[in-house]
Structure 1
């Protein structure tokens, strides 16, 4: 019998794991945004001293793990598992980083939902007694993602207003069975939802139904109400997806407008930086959570957070074959103990 299960999608932890430290690295554009003071490192250029954007992304992920481990006052050898993913084929960034770090590795792909996927599975491992210390880490890079999913940057293609800007960033969180910090109380695992959106330049609309489904499932299965949280934040929906999600959740009887925001809107100042519909990418919710949100929780300015990272499960192959874009969203509920 699954004693820790609430309904079909949610688990509650008997011994909620601690998030004892986080670290974040972002690119130059992200460092010009409104959250600049919260990031641990802002790159001067997006190559990060490497010969390719892909290698730069892997280095960014690797160095973020090192910083998070150092801040936790642990050593790399203390970390029993690394749960990580990115947007690149065969998880190149995460796999190459895991090779260099030597940590036992679970490679995960949930598109832009990967940060909460890694936090979810990491919390289950610790609460289940399978580990005491692990790292959940995710990255994305504007230039590597554009090259893989869209067009070579040299083309200078016009971006429609619904398009989002892939965040160059990485975030790492150290989860532990003991220590201090916010604790992971609930995890609501998302279902794959597909309402037939085919426009790869409108990711927010494609992912919003999955975000709404997971949010509603979380409230139904936990019995909690939206005002329980100081912040409900989706990962990568941008302006269009955020509006759709808010409406879909309201249709199910939950008004989240008062305390709801999106990482893709928080990381950039769209009036100044012209990111169209906002930010996206694995590194969006990863860097915003591991930078801004975690530090606000440490300072007790935010005490209860529901983080829902959202992913568009498309590939170049599926898009070229005319397939629609399935969406996924996983929710992680975090609290600061009194």
Structure 2
């Protein structure tokens, strides 16, 4: 019997998995943004000393996991599972990092929703008693994502104002069955939502309906109070998608305006840094949560957070075949 289910899409974790430590690494551009003081490491160059951007991203994943575990009372060999993913085909960056870390590995893909997805699965593993220590991690890189999904960077293509800037960043959460830190209390797993958007340079409107659907499902399932949250953070809807979310969710009877933030809006000063509609990429919510939000939770400056990482599930193939952009959002509720 599924004793931990609440309503249609939400589960109540009963054994209180704890986020005992985190790590965050970002690129040079992100290190010039408003949240620069909250990241553990800011790279001096996008290659991170490697011969390609892809291996630079892989090194970021490897180092952020070692960093996060190193802040805890554990060592890497005590980690039972790594649950992680990125944006590249066959999870290249994450898989090569897992090869070097030599720990049991679940590779997951949810596009830019991957941080919430990896945290959801990691916390369920711990809550279910299958492990005492799991790492959830996610990364993206501007140069690797642009090369795969859009254009060779050497072309210097002009980007429309609706476009977002893929974050070079990674984050890792160490989730344990015991210890001190914020606890993962509930999870609402999203459904794939497709409203027919086809413009890959305007992904906020494609992802916003998925975020609306998941947030509404959480409050419908739990009857929780919006005012009990300090932050409800989406992953990377950007300026346009964020406005759509607030409008659509308000029409469903939920006013999020006092607690809402979007990681893609917060990570850059979009006017000074020329990121148009804001940041994107699964490293966006990964670095902002494991840097900015987690540190505020640890300091008790905030007490209750909903992280709703949002993902556009298109691929280079689906784009070439002129398919629309299916999207998904997963919610993780974290409390002190």
TM-score range, shorter chain: over 0.9
- Counterpart of 1:34 in structure 2 is 34
Partner of 2:59: 59
User: Where does residue 130 of structure 2 map in the other structure?
Assistant: 130
Q: How far 1:228 sits from its partner (Å)?
A: 1.3
Q: How far does residue 270 in structure 1 lie from its aligned partner after superposition? A: 1.0
Structure 1 position 271, deviation (Å)? 1.8
1:159: which partner in 2?
159
**Equivalent residue for 2:191?**
191
SS in 1 for 2:181: coil
3-state SS of the aligned residue for 1:2?
coil
Mapping of 1:133-152 within 5 angstroms? 133-152=133-152
For 2:199 and 2:265, how far apart are their aligned partners in 1?
20
Contact 1:18–1:182, Cα closer than 8 Å, also in 2? yes
Measured after TM superposition, the shift of residue 78 of structure 1 is 0.7
Please say if 1:113 is aligned against 2:139: no
Stretches of structure 2 that go unaligned for 5 or more consecutive residues are none
1:257 CA displacement: 0.5
Structure 1 gap ranges (5+): none
Distance 2:234 2:225 in 1: 17
Residue 253 of structure 1 aligns with which residue? 253
The within-5 A match list for 1:163-242 is 163-242=163-242
Q: Distance in 1 between matches of 2:39 and 2:213?
A: 31
The answer (yes or no) to whether the contact 1:225–1:254 under 8 Å persists in 2 is: no
User: What residue is the counterpart of 1:47 in the other structure?
Assistant: 47
Q: Is the aligned partner of 1:92 residue 2:92?
A: yes
State how far apart, in whole Å, the 2-side matches of 1:225 and 1:256 are.
Answer: 11
**Could you give the per-residue CA deviations for residues 202-235 of structure 1, whole angstroms, max 9, x where no partner exists?**
0101000000000000011011121110000000
Q: How many residues align?
A: 336
In structure 2, the residue matched to 1:75 is 75
Query: Which aligned segments of 4 or more residues in structure 1 are displaced greater than 3 angstroms?
Result: none
Encode CA deviations 1:99-133: one digit per residue, 9 max, x unaligned: 00001000000000000000001111011000000
What is the rounded CA distance, in whole Å, between the counterparts of 2:56 and 2:204 in structure 1? 27
User: Counterparts of 1:14 and 1:321 in 2: how far apart (Å)?
Assistant: 45
Counterpart CA distance in 1 for 2:257 and 2:223 is 19
Q: Which residue pairs with 2:9 in the alignment?
A: 9
Give, in angstroms, the shift of residue 73 of structure 1.
Answer: 2.1
| 2: CA distance, partners of 1:130 / 1:222 | 26
